[in-house]
């Protein structure tokens, strides 16, 4: 019986030492963490967009007001614009609320915009940046398959004009011109 207890104890000690060795072995061979590059976009060319803007656009023959506020977000990686456009005609019974994230992709040297709204809409667009006083963006992906482009023109440090052209999947083209004034 003594020999049996000793054999069980010896086997347990052997298994425990193998297990502890395996755990220590795995911990010693774990690879070191790979540092992730942390490049901050240079937003100096886009700083005009920062602040609060009051806008008026013509949609379906009626004036559509909205207010946009742009701040830095996500640790300085994005300019974030929060936009609220109240109901303005019988087709839109509630406000459109959207958030837009703008950043720079140094790989393809393009400004990238991601927009989402409270109607389930979204789009991703790209722009090479300012050419003189105009910034042209082109939609690359939309939730409904439409295509579009947008030309923002800087009139002054406190005024912009925007011309958006959207083509839906059936080929119907919509033009929306919007004038904005910086109010804050």
Q: DSSP class of residue 21?
A: H
Residue 84 and residue 169: Cα distance in Å, rounded? 26
Q: Is the pLDDT of residue 14 over 50?
A: no
Question: In the chain, which residue ranges form alpha helices assigned H by DSSP?
Answer: 2-29
Average pLDDT, the chain: 85
In order of start, what are the domains of the chain with their CATH numbers? Answer: 45-182 (2.40.128.20)
Average pLDDT over residues 4-28: 45
Tally the C-alpha atoms within 13 A of residue 22's C-alpha that lie toward its C-beta.
6
pLDDT tens-digit series, residues 126-181: 999 999 999 999 998 888 999 999 999 999 999 999 999 999 999 999 999 999 99
């Amino acid at each position: 019986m003594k020999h049996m207890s000793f054999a069980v104890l010896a086997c347990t000690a052997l298994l425990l030492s193998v297990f502890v060795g395996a755990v220590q072995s795995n911990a010693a061979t774990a690879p070191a963490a790979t540092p992730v590059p942390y490049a901050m976009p240079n937003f100096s060319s886009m700083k005009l967009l920062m602040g609060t803007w009051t806008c008026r656009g013509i949609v379906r023959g009626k004036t559509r007001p909205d207010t946009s506020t742009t701040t830095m977000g996500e640790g300085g990686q994005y300019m974030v614009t929060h936009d609220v456009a109240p109901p303005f005609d019988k087709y839109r019974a509630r406000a459109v609320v959207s958030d837009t994230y703008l950043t720079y992709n140094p790989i393809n040297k393009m400004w990238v915009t991601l927009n989402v709204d409270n109607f389930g809409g979204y789009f991703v667009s790209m722009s090479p940046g300012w050419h003189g006083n105009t910034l042209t963006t082109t939609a690359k992906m939309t939730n409904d398959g439409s295509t579009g482009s947008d030309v923002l023109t800087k009139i002054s440090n406190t005024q912009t004009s925007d011309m958006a052209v959207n083509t839906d999947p059936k080929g119907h083209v919509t033009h929306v011109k919007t004038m904005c004034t910086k109010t804050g």
